[in-house]
Amino acid sequence: MTTVETFSDFALPAPILQAISDLGFESPSQIQAATIPLLLAGKDVVGMAQTGTGKTAAFGLPMVASIDPELKAPQALVLAPTRELALQVADAVSTFARHLPGVKVLPIYGGQSYGVQIAGLKRGAQIIVGTPGRIIDHLSKGKLDLSELRYLVLDEADEMLKMGFQEDVEEILSQTPETRQTALFSATIPPAIRRISESYLTDPQQIEIETPTTTNANIEQRYVIVNQRSKIDALTRILEVETFEAMILFVRTKQQTEEMADKLRARGYGAAAINGDMVQAQRERTINQLKEGALDILIATDVAARGLDVDRISYVLNYDMPHDPESYVHRIGRTGRAGRTGQALLFVTPRERRMIKQIGRVTGQSLEEVKLPSVDDVNETRVRRFNESITHALEDEHLDLFRGFVQLYAADTGVDMVDIAAALAVQTVDDTEDFLLTEELEVEDYQGRQRSFSHGGKRKEGRHQSRSGKDLVSYRIAVGKRHKVTPSSIVGAIANEGGISSADIGHISIRGDHSLVDMPADLPQEVFDNLQKTRISGQLIHLELDPGPPANRPGALKQAKRDKKQKGNYKRPKKYSRKQNHDRSDWKNRNNRKDWNPRSTKSYQPGGKGYSKKNDFSGHKHGKKH
């Protein structure tokens, strides 16, 4: 293979090369150098590469080059597992096509209005980037026509399968022209991916890129055990005690990025969110503010932070545990760049301890456990900074003016200089009552609340709370064992299509033809409506509140007993054993026992072992004749 040193070595149109130059790309990555020539030559490709290797440009540049601007119909389709990734890919592809008039890119994903997406299709978008569930919806409604499709990409195919989209993906593939060109990218190649490759790709070229997983030795890696509910307070303490130039803070959902930015700004920190919903101009403006020092903290999701390179970032804080060790590697890679040192801290809830060893194995580095800053640590830092502020103020050029005012005030009132200084200090502190902390943060016991997965077993009843502290109730979805669903596919679909944090999904019980999922009691109507239309394993889930076992259904009696037991007023019925029934003293005293009924003793009923006419009590009640 000819060595490729620059993008100019590829047979790409001049407008695309101009877009690459605008982006500041110089030399192609390994996956780009291996993939772009094959795709430009019309070959099908299976690429095995991790995230962060430049996959989007590897398939995006040849894809844009294949588009006919005059044909106002979908010519290229990219399937992505999550809406955040779909938005990121759509933004990147739009950038590649910025100098090609008439080429339109349309993201299609759950959670967005159908009207906006249908309008985009009617305007003749040629490149569609979407999630499988929403693409299936448009196909079934006849709003998306793939008859002119030339180019199909499955991005992060293994993730799509993990999230239960295999049937959707195969259904979409079956509705595309056989003449299409297909590229499949996956971090791993499990049997299901291999089967799709063999069934739907034509003589695919295999590309495997080795990605080192060991982390930069310049990054100090630590973790801290913290209660889920105490995370924001723990974060505030760390921000007070730790020293950093700029920080990137990772959370799992785009909603969390906005919420966290608001909370930190309310505490006086210069913070901003970055997520997949941001337009490119806003994203660039936010990153420039971070570079210039107008912002110190950036809150991001994994997808939104890909490709982010800001030298000022000296600290990475993993507020939420990453989905896998490889994501952790990509996260902390945002610091310690260009020979600089960096710090990485991971928040670990007690139930997530098992992930620490997995991360250590992948990174080749053990993480050091540290304790949360104590009350004394925080108070010591606050006092030290207070003293430093006095030292800096003593260097102010206007000090003599105010010294004179203070001397006059002391002479007129007789107030001690120390008291005057303390009074002036009070004016500089926003909250004097809470200036010094008094309470330590608690770490919940390891046996605290956990989401539990089951396949038809018993499940906890009644309202309870999620790991994030929200009240949960049970919802019923119309997929179960016979649809071959898994807990991970349910969590993935609900989190992706509904925008619900996985921390807000509780117990999952998979039954024969349905499943029960505990989710927040106060689901917004928009989220509820989106989930109503969500598919798992190709099936609409038809979300509804679970009414519990009907009175005439097996299990209702047991359910009632459990409910009474939980309320504390349930008593087990008194039972008598055979031994008790045969006890002679009990037998002799039967006439004095008001609760004894011989008819309840099978042995003494007609046909029973102990039956005879002499002891036939069938006409008696409580041992006495009528």
In a domain, 550, yes or no: no
Query: Is 183 found in the same domain as 39?
Result: yes
**369 located within any domain:** yes
Domain membership of residue 531 as a residue range: 453-545
Show which of 166, 181, 208 is a domain's final residue: 208
Same domain, 260 and 364: yes
Number of H helices, E strands in the chain: 22, 24
DSSP, collapsed to helix, strand or coil, labels residue 530 as: helix
Q: Are residues 43 and 181 in the same domain?
A: yes
Place of tokens 């070229």: 205
The per-residue pLDDT for range 290-335, each reduced to its tens digit, is 989 899 999 998 777 766 778 889 999 999 988 777 778 888 888 8
Q: What is the pLDDT of residues 569-612, one digit of tens each?
A: 545 544 444 444 444 444 444 444 444 454 444 444 555 555 55
State the total domains in the chain.
Answer: 5
**63 and 47 inside one domain:** yes
Q: What is the pLDDT of residue 579?
A: 45
73 and 168 belong to one structural domain: yes
DSSP secondary structure letter of residue 597: -
Whole-number mean pLDDT of the chain?
79
Please report the pLDDT score of residue 558 as a whole number. 53
The per-residue pLDDT for 445 is 41
Per-residue pLDDT reduced to its tens digit, 77-118: 999 988 778 888 998 899 999 999 999 999 998 878 899 999
Name the domain boundary from 351, 374, 397.
374
Residue 1 lies in a domain: no
CATH of the domain at 474: 3.30.70
pLDDT confidence bin for 438, thresholds 50/70/90: low
Q: In this structure, is residue 66 part of a structural domain?
A: yes
Q: Which of these ranges, 143-152, 444-453, 510-519, has the smallest mean pLDDT?
A: 444-453
Residue range 376-394: mean pLDDT, rounded? 77
Do 244 and 225 fall into the same domain?
Answer: yes
Pairing of the two strands 45-48 and 181-186:
parallel
Q: Residue 173: inside a domain, yes or no?
A: yes
The answer as to whether 440 is a domain residue is no
405 within a domain of the structure (yes/no): yes
Q: Give the max Cα distance, the chain.
A: 119
Q: Are 343 and 490 part of one and the same domain? A: no
Distance CA 528, CA 494 (A): 10
Same domain, 249 and 292: yes
353/241 same-domain check? yes
Looking at the fold, whether 75 and 152 belong to one and the same domain comes out as yes
Asked whether residue 558 is domain-assigned, the answer is no
Same domain, 227 and 204: no
Of 462 and 161, the one with more pLDDT:
161
pLDDT tens digits along 204-240: 999 987 655 556 678 899 999 998 888 888 898 888 8
Q: Which of 494, 528, 545 is the last residue of a domain?
A: 545
As a whole number of angstroms, the distance between CA 464 and CA 456 comes to 20
Selected residue with higher pLDDT from 55 and 623: 55
CATH number at residue 351: 3.40.50.300
Region 614-621: mean pLDDT is: 49
Distances, alpha carbon 219 to alpha carbons 223, 332, 342, 369, 370, in Å: 13, 8, 5, 15, 16
CB 139, CB 79: distance < 8 Å: no
- 306 and 190 fall within a common domain: no
Say whether pLDDT at 175 is over 90: yes
Question: With 90 as the cut, is the pLDDT of residue 147 above it?
Answer: yes
pLDDT over threshold 70, residue 621: no
Contact in structure between 79 and 135 (CB atoms under 8 Å): yes
Query: Given the DSSP bridges, would you call strands 297-300 and 246-250 parallel, antiparallel or unpaired?
Result: parallel
pLDDT in tens, 459-512: 444 445 655 567 788 899 999 888 888 887 888 788 777 777 777 788 888 888
Rounded mean pLDDT, 34-48: 94
pTM value is: 0.47
